[in-house]
Structure 1
C-alpha cells in the first residue's frame, strides 16, 4: 500500500531553486560506505532538471560522472541548458561543495511523439514479485530503503570468498521498502541499485564505487504513470573486470513486460 505524505526518497532528493543555482543536501537514509548512494545523487540531479522552468519533454538519457567524494551536508547544483531545438534539450549540471566539483552530469530531454514501435528485447522470465523472497538487509544503509527480491544470482557476502570467479549475472525485483509509485526519478536511482558485479563474482564485499553511469529511458512520463507500478524487474551483468575497473550493464522492466530503461556503468574496485 502506498504511504500518504512525503516519502523518504522524495525527502532525500529534494532540491530548491536559488538565485544562480539549486541547492540540496545529502540524506543519512541513503548513505553508502563512504558517501551517499550514487543512484540517489543522480535522481536528485534529475529532479532539478525536471523541476526546471525551462525543461521541456521527458528524460531520454542521463550520464553522471562521480568526480570526487561527496561529504555529508549541503551542496549546490549549477544547472545549465546548453542547447535546445524543436524536439530535444541538452543539459549540463555541476554539483559542488565548498566550491569544488564533486559530480558532473549531462542529460538529454526529448518530446516523445507517436511513432512506429517495436520491442525486440524479450521480457526475462521470472516468478512474480509477490512470490520472491525479500533479501536480508546489508551493512549499507541505502539498501535498507529498497526491497530486493532475487530470482537468480542472489549474492552471498558472509561466507568464504569464491575460490574462482563466479557468474556476475543477477535477476531481481526492486521496489522501495516503503512502496512508492515508480517514476522517472525511481528509474534513475534504481538503475544504480544493483549490487556491484564484483561482489557477485568474488562472493565478498570489496572497496567499490561507481565512476560513471549512463541511463537511457525507453518510456514517456505519461506511459510510466499509466503503468501504475511500485516495483521493476531488474537484470544486470558484467563483461570484464580488469586493472581496478569493471563494467556493468542492466535493464529495468515493468511487470507487464515493457522495457523501461537500460543502463551501463564503469566502476572502480580494489581487489
Structure 2
C-alpha cells in the first residue's frame, strides 16, 4: 500500500508518547515497536498499542475524515521489540471508511483492530448528557500511591474517593464507579491519539472493587469519538475527566464503561 513515511527515532526530542506510538514505513511494510516506559503487567500497555494502530491508520494515503469508532482486540501480550502492522481499507462510502489493521510478531497476530472513519458535516446537534460536578483539575492533587512504568506516563488526579491498594483486600466489594482527571505525565496537548490511549488508562474496575492489584489485561475495547481532530485542536487541553463504572464481574472477565470529558464539560 502506498503510504506516507512517518518516523520518530528513540533519540528524538519528541514527546515520549509520540516516540512510543510511532509508526514507520520502509516502502514495503509498516512497523511499530514497544516502549519500556509503557510496560504493563504482561506486555505493553494496551492504550499504547491502540494508539500505534490508530496512528498507522491515520497515516494512510487513502484516509478520509477522522476516526468515529475504533475497536481493538488484544489477542496476546506484545513482547518487547518490533511488530509488523498491516492496514487494509475494507469499504469506503461517500461519508465513511471501514478499515482493519493487524499487529503481528513472529508471524502471529498479537492485536487487531477495526475502525470507522467519517467526514463529519454540520447538521443538527443535541447533547442531553451532562458532565458530573467535580473538583477542577487544579484543585485535585496528583495521585502517587501506585507506581508502574505505564502508570508513570500519565498523571492521575482523583477529585473524590482516591483509591488505596496498599492494604488488605476489602471484606466486601466496593463501588466500581470512579472519577479521575487524566493527562500525560509530560504535558501534551490531547489529540485523538491521546484519547485512544487514555480510554484504556482507567485503573481496572476490579482494583477498585476488591481493593487490590491483580495481574489483568484488556481483551477488547471500543472507543467512540464525539469530536473530530479540528474540534479538539480548537480547544487545546492537556487533561480530561474520566468517569468509569462496571456492570458485571463473572468467571474471570468483567466489563467497563467510561466517558472522557473536556474541562469545558464536553463529552469527547
Same fold (TM over 0.5): yes
Cα distance in structure 2, aligned partners of 1:124 and 1:225: 23
Superposed, which structure 2 residues align to 1:140-219 within 5 Å? Answer: 140-219=148-227
Pick from 117, 121, 131 the counterpart of residue 123 of structure 1.
131
Aligned to 1:101: 109
The C-alpha deviation readout for 1:190-220, integer Å capped at 9, x for no partner, is 0000000000000001121110000000001
With 200-209 and 13-22 compared, the bigger mean Cα shift is at 13-22
Following superposition, which runs of at least 4 residues in structure 1 exceed 4 angstroms of deviation? Answer: none
Aligned to 1:265: none
Pick from 221, 226, 229 the counterpart of residue 221 of structure 1.
229
Aligned to 2:70: 62
Using the TM superposition, give the Cα deviation of residue 34 of structure 1 relative to its aligned residue in structure 2, in angstroms.
Answer: 1.6
Cα distance in structure 2, aligned partners of 1:229 and 1:137: 25
Task: Note the residue ranges of structure 1 that are not aligned, 5 or more in a row.
Answer: 261-271
1:110 counterpart = 2:137: no
Cα distance in structure 2, aligned partners of 1:153 and 1:98: 44
Using the TM superposition, give the Cα deviation of residue 12 of structure 1 relative to its aligned residue in structure 2, in angstroms.
Answer: 0.3
Which secondary structure state, in structure 2, belongs to the residue aligned with residue 129 of structure 1? coil
Which secondary structure state, in structure 2, belongs to the residue aligned with residue 259 of structure 1? coil
1:35 counterpart = 2:43: yes
Higher strand share: 1
The C-alpha deviation readout for 1:203-256, integer Å capped at 9, x for no partner, is 001121110000000001110001110000110000110011000000000000
User: Does the CA-based 8 Å contact 1:20-1:78 persist in structure 2?
Assistant: no
1:21 counterpart = 2:40: no
1:90 counterpart = 2:101: no
RMSD of aligned Cα (Å): 1.2
Which secondary structure state, in structure 2, belongs to the residue aligned with residue 39 of structure 1? helix
Cα distance in structure 2, aligned partners of 1:21 and 1:152: 46
TM-score (norm 2): 0.94
User: Does the CA-based 8 Å contact 1:137-1:144 persist in structure 2?
Assistant: no
Using the TM superposition, give the Cα deviation of residue 5 of structure 1 relative to its aligned residue in structure 2, in angstroms.
Answer: 4.1
User: Does the CA-based 8 Å contact 2:205-2:245 persist in structure 1?
Assistant: yes
User: Does the CA-based 8 Å contact 1:21-1:79 persist in structure 2?
Assistant: no
Cα distance in structure 1, aligned partners of 2:126 and 2:224: 16
Aligned to 1:50: 58
Cα distance in structure 1, aligned partners of 2:219 and 2:251: 14
Task: Note the residue ranges of structure 2 that are not aligned, 5 or more in a row.
Answer: 1-11
Cα distance in structure 1, aligned partners of 2:91 and 2:257: 28
The count of aligned residue pairs is: 257
Cα distance in structure 1, aligned partners of 2:191 and 2:95: 22
